[in-house]
Amino acid sequence: MNAKSFQPLPIEANAAGDERLTGVEVEFAGLTEADAAHILANALHGRARQTDGHDWMVEDSDLGDIEVYRDAGWRKSSHVVLREAGLRLGRDVIPVELVTKPLDRAGLAKLSSACDVLRDAGAEGSRQGVLYGFGVHLNVEISGEDAAGITRPLLAYALIEDWLRRAMPIDLSRRLLPFTAPYATSAVRALAGAGPDAPPREVMKIYLDRAADRNHGLDMLPLFAHLDAAAVEAATGQAKALKARPAFHFRLPDCRIDEPEWSLAHEWERWRLVERVAHDRALLDTLVTAWLDDHGLVTFSRSGWAERAGDILTGAGLAPGREAA
């Protein structure tokens, strides 16, 4: 796969004029941490080194350093017996995770090819187990700390989330597990009311008042901790534990690494669609007006809006399979 598979975002550069970068987290089963690290090292011309009892690092690879570990909260426990027992008992349902540094689009293409190698070696994705619920997380650098860089992508996602979940459904395991809960209607209503030009600090307050949880398809807490760690700490008590960064934490997509037709480029396109909506001011205004018209004071079902949003996106040439050239 080459970089052309990862089409540019509507705003390609950050505030400094450099290409926006994207860190990636991929969760999967079927391989041990050690096996995954060695496979990645071979595929990306690096070397695998064990850094802890269950943690590995692929160093000096074509993509820089890559962390590989079992994704469990207790893996860093200072209680050795608890840590080892937890990791053994949870090995069947707790994924191995690879975590990259921020990558350019060429780097994303190389990582996608490395995921193909992991698949060939036996890596398993979301659909291979009832309790797997594995995801792919994209940490997409913002274009700037203004409304265009923060407010509009967040608003675009909030407005089309119901349609995204219907048109590109995630695995049942991830819908049932509390990792990717949709934004509450009250949060979307407040964001729509604030509008596309609302200052990021205003939408941060809305988010912290109504959606201050990491378990959303679009987790904004790391970005807001970057803007104002004290405000996030006061609202959630989590700021010190967050990896604050100037990036969206898009965690909605499944990991379907074992399916030959799947690639990271599919999930990149899912996020790119959000930004294309955000960048089209007329479309964003239309969605805001339509959402407020559709929902009124009380919302009993979200399916009607999902269909209406899809019709609006289709009319704009942005629905999958009908994109404008």
Which amino acid, 181?
A: A
In a domain, 115, yes or no: no
List the chain pLDDT tens, one digit each, 325 residues: 676 689 999 999 999 999 999 999 999 999 999 999 999 999 999 999 999 878 999 999 999 999 999 875 534 444 343 344 344 445 556 899 999 999 999 999 999 999 999 999 999 987 655 456 789 999 999 999 999 999 999 999 999 999 999 888 776 666 666 678 999 999 999 999 999 999 999 999 999 999 999 999 999 999 999 999 999 999 998 877 889 999 999 999 889 999 999 999 999 999 999 999 999 999 999 999 999 999 976 665 677 999 999 999 999 999 764 333 2
In a domain, 273, yes or no: yes
In a domain, 42, yes or no: no
Q: How many domains does the chain have?
A: 1
Residues 6+ apart with CB under 8 A from 218: 154, 157, 158, 161, 183, 248, 249, 250, 251, 252
In a domain, 102, yes or no: no
Parent domain of 189? 124-315
In a domain, 191, yes or no: yes
Question: What's residue 262's pLDDT?
Answer: 93
Residue burial 5-39, b: 16+ Cβ < 10 Å; e: rest: bbeebebeebeeeeebbbbbbbbbbbbebebbbbb
In a domain, 116, yes or no: no
How many whole angstroms separate alpha carbon 21 and alpha carbon 12?
9
**Using an 8 Å Cβ cutoff, are 150 and 203 in contact?**
yes
In a domain, 29, yes or no: no
In a domain, 269, yes or no: yes
Instruction: Match 């608003």 to its residue by tokens.
Output: 155
- Look up residue 100 and give its two tokens: 């990259």
